[in-house]
Amino acid sequence: MAFSFRVVKSDKDTLARAGVVKTSHGKIETPAFMPVGTQGSVKTLSPDDLEEVGVQIILGNAYHLYLRPGPDIVDQAGGLHGFIGWDHPILTDSGGYQVFSLTDLNDVSEEGVTFQSHLDGSRHMFTPERSIEIQHALGADIIMCLDECTAYPCTRLEAQASAELTLRWARRCQQAHERLNDEQDKGQALFGIVQGSTYEDLRQKCARDLAELDFPGYALGGLSVGEPKTAMYEMIDAAVPQLPEHKPRYLMGVGMPEDLVDAVSRGVDMFDCVIPTRNARNGSVFTQNGQMVIKNAQYSRDFRPIDSSCDCYTCRHFSRAYLRHLFQAGELLAPRLATLHSVCFYMKLMRQMRQAILEGRFKKWRREFLSLYRNGSGVYGQIVKVQ
């Protein structure tokens, strides 16, 4: 089945929209959040867990899976879906971001980027063509163009050169994708990535140029890399109007619950971020009243669930006191139960947004959600406020 996207309803007050992405492994209702399964596993969770909390799509990292176990093994296993036992949509990133953030030595040329593995120091090269080959072997439903991800801050000249390189690479990625599809078309959709650092006009131009290449979807990359939140929102606002209305928009690596709400208001449809899973493993979970550092001593005799309004397995069966004990004792069940809850929270957040858009009450919902989330209700004890 071919990839498709349809806007079901646009919000009357904001740029928010509810849509449906269709892939050969099932549909994704947008706005959608993709939990990150870097190495072929959303850390601590099984596919059953993910299904139970309503996850419709997960993300895998081409960089990590390329280094270990290697795309040939994944391919032989029937692709990433078969290898990891997840029969629903998957998106893989190109490896670009990891090459620039994880490796010590990376060297960019017109051809591509050479880098040393963060695992064993071995030298490798990703070209646009190689990244697409790898992502074809992995077989995800949505794959991403190789892009150069500039650090923040960077000069206008650097940002411009980088965005232009990313655009040239996008063309090569598209051509490589088409060539490989001629051999075997797995129905994979290749998304382009808008770069341009924090320069509004560069973002606009990059988005416009990519739009001309007619990708089935577009991502905003190089954000949430240290720039102020206001700059991130400006860049979203600069790029979104340049992108076609009928294509999904994916904000990479974002973010906190309030970021998701803001970005949805600005027209973004898809997100991925390690925050819910990573924070959970570190003992901090999300609630409608903000983050709760569940491993804190204050919860040692608190026999209420994390969130009494939550119906996840963790909240149905375990108290804050027990979770706190598990974290204190270093039990492996602790990160698992915390992760399950926080992913459930994110999924519910996305469903709430979608429902509010569909019912024409997104702005009201947003006001209520953010008020509760930013201020805490006090019901949950001392809440760690989100910055």
CB of 332 to a second copy, least distance (A): 5
By CB under 8 A, tell whether 317 contacts a second copy: yes
Where helices occur in 120-267 by DSSP H, the ranges are 128-138, 156-183, 200-212, 229-239, 257-265
Query: Do residues 22 and 88 lie in contact, with contact meaning Cβ atoms separated by under 8 Å?
Result: no
As a 3-state breakdown, the chain gives helix, strand, coil percent values, each rounded to 5, of: 45, 20, 35
**Residue ranges with strand state E in the chain:** 4-10, 17-23, 26-30, 32-35, 58-61, 90-93, 106-108, 113-116, 123-126, 142-144, 189-194, 218-220, 249-251, 270-273, 284-287, 290-293
- Residue of 178, 303, 308, 375 interacting with a second copy (CB under 8 A): 303
Does position 152 bind a second copy by CB under 8 A? no
Contact (Cβ atoms closer than 8 angstroms) between residue 251 and residue 236: yes
- The stretch among 210-218, 234-242, 283-291, 326-334 that binds a second copy (CB under 8 A) is 326-334
- H-run or E-run covering 79: helix 79-84
- Residue 46 or 204: which CB sits closer to a second copy? 46
Does 264 help bind a second copy (rule: CB under 8 A)? no
Q: Which stretch binds a second copy (CB under 8 A): 65-73, 171-179, 210-218, 365-373?
A: 65-73
Q: Which residues are the active-site residues?
A: 93, 272
| Nearest CA-CA partner of 97 in 206, 239, 195 | 195
329 belongs to the binding site for a second copy (CB under 8 A)? yes
Between 65 and 264, CB nearer to a second copy: 65
Decide: is 296 part of the binding site for a second copy (CB under 8 A): no
45 binds a second copy (CB under 8 A): yes
Our finding on whether 41 is near a second copy (CB under 8 A) is yes
Position 168 contacts a second copy (CB under 8 A)? no
326 binding a second copy? (CB under 8 A): yes
Q: At what angle do helices 229-239 and 200-212 cross, to 10 degrees?
A: 40
CA dihedral 347, 351, 357, 363 (to 10 degrees): -60
Task: Decide: is 43 part of the binding site for a second copy (CB under 8 A).
Answer: yes
Q: Count residues binding a second copy (CB under 8 A).
A: 39
Nearer to a second copy, 1 or 119 (CB): 119
- Residue 84: CB minimum distance to a second copy, A: 6
Q: At what angle do helices 257-265 and 333-358 cross, to 10 degrees?
A: 20
Q: In whole angstroms, give the CA distance from residue 181 to residue 355.
A: 36
Contact 233, 264 (CB under 8 A): no
Q: Closest CB to a second copy among 81 and 203?
A: 81
Beta pairing class for 106-108 and 290-293: unpaired
User: x/- site string to a second copy, residues 68 to 97, per CB under 8 A?
Assistant: xx---x--xx-----xxx------------
333 interacts with a second copy by CB under 8 A: yes
Contact footprint for a second copy (CB under 8 A): 39-41, 43-48, 64, 68-69, 73, 76-77, 83-85, 281, 300-301, 303, 313, 317-319, 321-322, 324-326, 328-329, 331-333, 335-337
